């Protein structure tokens, strides 16, 4: 349970994503398309599909490779998302004529370059919470007033850590070269919340019954069944680990890095808007970082939300703080099982690392209550910078990790 910035305020409860229309997110582009060039920018609306799934379907429909299609940000399947994609050397009318389930093409225009991850200023959210307690609008307004003044805690959201919230443990074990533990987190260690068939398979894995485990996985766990076969043939060592897709292994390492950041933010949550001597500060205007020698000399800029303290994404290119901030980061790394800052994983994947602000600004926030065919709701509208998670804001209002 990560601590709240607004712990002194009550929560209103409620759940998000009861229906796709209850969670609407729209990208805020970093720049407008110029109207000329060989690249076509598609503004799409998707529902029930991840961004990679949409890319695959469009690529298949056009007879192109998924790598030919660019996008600025990844969006998950739950909810309604409006975002931009890009592709080069295609007739605009062919794009507008595409018929793909779960996808609407809203607009096509031209530009001079391919969209890349990060070509994004932020996201606008329009979210309806259902099942809230009495006085939810007043509670939400009070919490948002604090977040607008002090900042939204920039926690990595649960999406980062996987369906079972265990991606970080997998990544940390693999970074330590403990592949039996990594596979145990992947394939064993059943939990009460697991579906019965999955619970059986994981129990068999822990007991060493690999043939029975491989047969026991339900149909939606095809990857787990395949990995179980690999472990049975090669044992749970580096050779078996390398059979996992490189992107998947990178995802596990990213989750491990994210766990370190969340741990540091949790330790500093009560003073996330206060600089300390030795901090690495983040400039919100351009994302540049600099070392803070004397916190008192820079705190006024922090109060104006021009700059913020940062936390670590451990890796080779990460700047390191000094003094008390360094001690906190070293302590958290040790607690999660990462005693040294990794530069490369044992399987040869480079871990660049970075700094990430402990807080992000909240803009254009609005609260209203209402009801529709699905019942009463609390509607929240707000904007966050790219890379920030709406769930980190929602949990402050609901005081529920499962919002």
DSSP string, 174-194: HHTT-HHHHHHHHH----TTS
Give the H or E element holding residue 198.
helix 196-206
* Residue 324, token pair as written in the block: 């008390």
Burial (CB count <10 Å: 0-12, 13-18, 19+), residue 279: buried
Q: Per residue in 345-381, pLDDT tens? A: 999 999 999 999 999 999 999 999 999 999 999 999 9
* Residue 2, token pair as written in the block: 């990560």
Q: Per residue in 130-141, pLDDT tens? A: 999 999 999 999
Checking if the pLDDT of 401 tops 80, the result is: no
Bridge partners, 381 (sequence order) = 126, 366
Report how far residue 381's alpha carbon sits from residue 394's, in angstroms, rounded to the nearest whole number.
11
Bridge partners, 270 (sequence order) = none
End-to-end CA distance of the chain: 13
Select from 313, 170, 185, 314 the least CA-distant residue to 251.
Answer: 170
Pairing assessment for the beta strands 359-360 and 354-357 based on DSSP bridges: unpaired
Q: Which of 22, 68, 76, 194 is catalytic?
A: 76
Q: Per residue in 41-60, pLDDT tens? A: 999 999 999 999 999 999 99
Report how far residue 229's alpha carbon sits from residue 183's, in angstroms, rounded to the nearest whole number.
12
Residue 10 has what DSSP assignment? P
- For the chain, domains (ranges, CATH) are 1-27+122-151+364-403 (no CATH), 31-117 (3.30.2350.20), 159-360 (3.30.2340.10)
Q: Per residue in 251-305, pLDDT tens? A: 999 999 999 999 999 999 999 999 999 999 999 999 999 999 999 999 999 999 9
What is the residue-averaged pLDDT of the chain?
Answer: 95
Q: Per residue in 146-204, pLDDT tens? A: 999 999 999 999 989 998 999 999 999 999 999 999 999 999 999 999 999 999 999 99
* Residue 357, token pair as written in the block: 């602000």
Q: How far is CA 387 from CA 44, 82, 352, in A?
A: 20, 16, 17
Pairing assessment for the beta strands 80-88 and 23-29 based on DSSP bridges: parallel
For the chain, the helix, strand and coil percentages under 3-state DSSP, each to the nearest 5: 40, 25, 40
Tell me if residue 372 is catalytic.
Answer: no
CB 57 within 8 A of CB 42: no
3-class DSSP state for residue 153?
Answer: strand
* Residue 341, token pair as written in the block: 């800052």
Report how far residue 282's alpha carbon sits from residue 133's, in angstroms, rounded to the nearest whole number.
37
CB 336 within 8 A of CB 263: yes
Residue 117 has what DSSP assignment? T
- What radius of gyration, in Å, describes the C-alpha atoms of the chain? 23
Q: How far is CA 251 from CA 31, 171, 174, 247, 349, in A?
A: 28, 8, 12, 6, 11
């Amino acid at each position: 349970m990560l601590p709240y910035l607004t712990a002194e305020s009550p929560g209103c409860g409620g759940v998000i994503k009861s229906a796709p229309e209850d969670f609407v997110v729209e990208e805020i582009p970093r720049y407008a398309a110029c109207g000329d060039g060989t690249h076509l920018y598609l503004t799409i609306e998707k529902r029930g599909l991840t961004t990679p799934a949409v890319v695959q379907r469009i690529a298949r429909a056009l007879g192109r490779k998924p790598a030919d299609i660019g996008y600025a940000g990844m969006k998950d399947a739950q909810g309604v998302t409006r975002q931009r994609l890009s592709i080069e050397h295609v007739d605009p009318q062919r794009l507008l004529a595409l018929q793909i389930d779960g996808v609407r093409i809203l607009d096509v225009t031209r530009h001079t370059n391919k969209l890349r991850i990060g070509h994004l200023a932020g996201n606008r959210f329009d979210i309806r919470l259902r099942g809230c307690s009495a006085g939810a609008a007043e509670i939400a307004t009070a919490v948002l007033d604090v977040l607008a003044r002090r900042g939204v805690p920039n926690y990595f959201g649960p999406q980062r850590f996987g369906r079972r919230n265990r991606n970080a443990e997998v990544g940390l074990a693999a970074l330590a070269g403990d592949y039996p533990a990594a596979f145990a987190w992947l394939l064993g260690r059943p939990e009460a919340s697991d579906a019965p068939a999955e619970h059986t398979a994981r129990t068999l894995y822990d007991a060493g019954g690999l043939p029975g485990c491989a047969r026991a996985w339900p149909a939606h766990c095809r990857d787990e069944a395949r990995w179980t076969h690999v472990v049975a043939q090669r044992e749970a060592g580096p050779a078996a680990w390398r059979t996992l897709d490189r992107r998947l292994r990178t995802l596990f390492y990213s989750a491990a890095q994210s766990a370190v950041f969340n741990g540091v933010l949790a330790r500093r949550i009560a003073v996330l808007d206060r600089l300390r001597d030795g901090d690495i500060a983040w400039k919100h205007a351009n994302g540049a970082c600099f070392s803070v020698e004397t916190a008192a000399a820079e705190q006024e800029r922090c109060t104006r939300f021009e700059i913020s303290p940062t936390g670590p994404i451990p890796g080779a290119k990460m700047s390191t703080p000094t003094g008390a901030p360094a001690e906190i980061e070293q302590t958290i790394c040790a607690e999660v099982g990462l005693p040294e800052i990794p530069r490369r994983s044992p399987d040869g994947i480079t871990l660049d690392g970075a700094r990430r602000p402990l807080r992000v600004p909240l803009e254009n926030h609005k609260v209203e209550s209402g009801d529709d065919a699905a019942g009463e709701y609390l509607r929240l509208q707000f904007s966050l910078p790219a890379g920030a998670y709406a769930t980190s804001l929602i949990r402050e209002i609901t005081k529920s990790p499962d919002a």
